[in-house]
Amino acid sequence: MSEQSPGPHPLLDAFLASARWFGGKGRPFTVSDVRRVATLAGPPTITVELLTVRYHDSADGTNAREVYQLPLVHYPEPQGRLEHAQVGSWDDGELGQVHAYDAIHDREAMALYLRAFAAAAEHGVLEQESLTFHRLPDHELDLEVVSTPFTGEQSNSSVAFGEDSLLKLFRKLTPGSNPDIEIHRALTEAGSEHVAALYGWLDLTGDDEEPTQLAMLQQFLRTASDGWGQALASVRNLFNEGDLHADEVGGDFAAEAHRLGAAVAEVHAALRTHFPTTTLDAAATADAMRARLEAAVGDVPDLAGHAPAAGTLFDQLAELHGQEAGLGDSLVSQRIHGDLHLGQTLRTSLGWKLVDFEGEPAKPLAQRMLPDSPWRDVAGMLRSFDYAAKSVERDLPHDPESAPQLRYRSEEWVARNTEAFLAGYAEQRGAPWSAEEHRLIAAYVADKAVYEVVYEARNRPGWIDIPLAALERLRRDMGKEEEA
């Protein structure tokens, strides 16, 4: 692997600072090293560069270094059509004087990637320098289509090849298996209908080095619309019908929430089959939740009034002990999605699909690969219903007379879709919810809301009332149970 730099680091600093997918915005940084790990001979010529980013605001060395992938396409002359993706011009040394662009924006460059994946189909792999293209059988790629980069993504970059396939290129890299590829492969080989089928993936390999996964190629979901957008449309429809309940409006989302619950349950069952499982240590999990709560109260004093109720839910979790508590398999710890919300779902003509199995981006890769409770996924989806309703509610004009009614209608929508989602999940698994399981889920919902309080305080202070209100509802629900 070459250590040759493709050009002056200041140009790369400037390019990264403006790149949508760069995760270090707002932090002082420099590109301290550029490593060329592969060259794909075209024309055009593509080089795969790994950029080491060092941050200057980390006194203890925590999160001081990250590695990003930047595939560059090189031309001897300026390309006006790629001006928006230009990284810079320089004397490359190996390639001579070049004009370099982010390769995902160049159709000719992306065609090279697609042809390499197609060539890998015969033997399942194709090796080009330190790159290994892997293919799964049973799908013939369409090589006649043109590529179109997506503009909405942030942490990665995706390119659609017509309506046939989709390439997701991972930007921030960590050696080892990427959970998005690992889980998509397992579910594809299991014949799951609730993920986009995996067609292939790209590894970076080297002598005595653990492979780093650079990209994945998967089915393009032509008829898909995202669950978040559908939920928002349903809430807006409800608020437009001032005299109707959530179950009376034409845009009622409950049937879709029911189907989504069943899809999540089916995916969880498949993951239990294809990956190792363990037993959840309820006491240790509750301790971790209490620790996060204590730290969050220190960061956000407004949370203090809700801490006792959340702490009670965590205490109830600690007291659960598998079969003796009537929980059966509910304390199984397994591979899960890890960052599930409505924005990670797509509704297609064939049903719901779950996407982006990379897990919570802020967690280290090794931690995202660990088994966890499926109730963390369930809690994430329930909190997403709440955010959908509240995000529409807060955009409407408020006055002292209308505010209580808006709040009531919003909470009615959330309650209806929460019930529908949980019913779909329970029906798919073939067992009704027990009282102990409801306590389990409530603890995970509280833990998620505590996380949201800290996130909103740091990033969107005006939204902090949403998770705080959720914790207040949990407190009220606990009071009703005690009265009953």
Concatenating the DSSP letter of every residue in 108-145 gives HHHHHHHHHHHHTTTTSEEEETTEEEEE-SS----SSS
CATH superfamily of 225-483: Aminoglycoside phosphotransferase (APH), C-terminal lobe (3.90.1200.10)
What pLDDT band is residue 56 in, cutting at 50, 70 and 90? confident
- Amino acid symbol at 299: D
pLDDT, position 6: 55
Token pair of 202, please? Answer: 């790209």
pLDDT in tens, 372-420: 999 999 999 999 999 999 999 988 877 777 788 888 889 999 999 999 9
- Whether the pLDDT of residue 72 is over 50: the answer is yes
Predicted TM-score of the model (pTM): 0.89
For residue 477, the model assigns a pLDDT of 82
Residue 3: its pLDDT value, please?
47
Could you tell me the pLDDT band of residue 472, with boundaries at 50, 70 and 90? very high
Exposure class string for 107-142: b at 16+ Cβ within 10 A, else e = ebbbbbbbebbbebbeeeebebebbbbbbbeebebe
pLDDT, average across residues 257-281: 96
Q: How far apart are CA 205 and CA 184, in angstroms?
A: 21
pLDDT of residue 2: 44
% of the chain with per-residue pLDDT over 90: 71
Q: What is the pLDDT of residues 127-146, one digit of tens each?
A: 998 999 999 999 999 999 99
Locate the domains of the chain by residue range: 9-103, 109-219, 225-483
What is the C-alpha to C-alpha distance for residues 450 and 453, in angstroms, rounded to an integer?
A: 5
Segment 76-104 mean pLDDT: 93
- Strands, E assignment, 44-181: 45-55, 65-75, 86-91, 97-102, 125-128, 131-135, 147-149, 156-161, 165-170, 172-173
Burial 189-212 (b: 16+ CB within 10 A, else e): eeebebbbbbbbbbbbeeeeeeeb
Give pLDDT, residue 215.
Answer: 97
Instruction: State the pLDDT at residue 364.
Output: 81
Neighbours of 316 (CB within 10 A): 17
Q: What is the 8-class DSSP label of residue 324?
A: G
99 phi and psi, to 5 degrees? -115, 120
